[in-house]
Structure 1
Amino acid sequence: MKYYLCKFIPPRADFLATMTADERLWMTQHGSYLNELLEQGVVVAHGPVIDPDGSYGVSLYQIEEDQNIAAITSLDPIVKNGSGHYEHYAMLHLKARG
């Protein structure tokens, strides 16, 4: 298995306060996408980080050796629609409660 911390970087620092109607729809789809991956065991945890300098999202992934993290995050609806991108950070291991 491979493990990643992925940081979703929105298109602007005040994104949560200034989303357009389309961006709100894509963010709803983004949440659904991550929840589906959570149910499949691909995502271990995810959620927004409220930072005064600009909020962002964080997700922890556990994927098979033959999977590509960039390919998985590129399918996120918010990314597919051009409203932000992911940074990927490999982890040596991931230990979770439960």
Structure 2
Amino acid sequence: MKYYLCKYIPPRADFLATMTAAEREWMGEHGVFLNRLLDQGLIVAHGPVIDDTGGYGVSLYQIADDQDIAALTSEDPIVKNGVGHYEHYTMLSLKARG
């Protein structure tokens, strides 16, 4: 297994407050996409982070050795529509409750 912290970087610092109608729709699809991966066991946890410099999203992935994290995150509807991008950070291990 491989483990990653993936950080979704929105296109602008005030993205959550200034989303267009299309961006709001894609963000809804983004949530459905992440929840589907959560249900499949590929994501351990995900959610938005708010800080003084603007918000971003974090997902913790646990994937098979033959899976490509960049290929997975490139299928996210928000990314496919050119709204932001992901940074991928390899983790040595991942422990979770439950």
Structure 1 segments (4+ residues) deviating >3 Å: none
Structure 1 stretches of 5 or more lacking a match?
none
Give the aligned CA root-mean-square deviation in angstroms: 0.3
| Sequence identity percentage | 78
What is the DSSP-based 3-state SS (H/G/I as helix, E as strand, rest coil) of the residue aligned with 1:54?
Answer: coil
Q: Deviations over 1:42-98 (max 9, x none)?
A: 000000001111100000000000000000000000000000000000000000000
Distance 2:77 2:2 in 1: 23
Q: TM-score, normalised by structure 2?
A: 0.99
Instruction: Tell me the residue number matched to 2:9.
Output: 9
Structure 2 stretches of 5 or more lacking a match?
none
* Equivalences, count: 98
Distance 1:52 1:32 in 2: 27
Distance 2:66 2:7 in 1: 21
Distance 2:54 2:64 in 1: 32
